[in-house]
Amino acid sequence: MKIYHNPRCRKSREGLQILEESGKDFQVIKYLVEVPSKEELKSILEKLDYKPAELVRKTEKVWKENYKGKNLSDDELIEAMLTYPKLIERPIVVTSVKAVVGRPPEKIKELF
């Protein structure tokens, strides 16, 4: 199990706490530092059963300044998230077969 985590985000910290309390083995990936590869991001989207647009944080300043109002393809949205990983919704917890966005953080428990 992996958690894509931003330590500065309260929801992400709450999600991490849920995992720590679960007793499950997991890996913490600080995705702003260790940006996922394109293949990894596509795999996460597939496990979430999300379109790229559903994973984008549209309230981020970088989204509003560079992308808002543009008709972007899925590939362009993925590239935007890889270029600006802050645009990736958080936290994301991934198993070998499924993933959830921890909003609310309790959703993470669906993976146990």
Q: How many angstroms separate the CA atoms of 39 and 60, rounded?
A: 24
* Residue from 2, 4, 9, 60 carrying the catalytic annotation: 9
| 9 is an active site residue | yes
How buried is residue 48: exposed, middle or buried, by Cβ count under 10 Å (0-12/13-18/19+)? middle
Positions marked active-site: 9
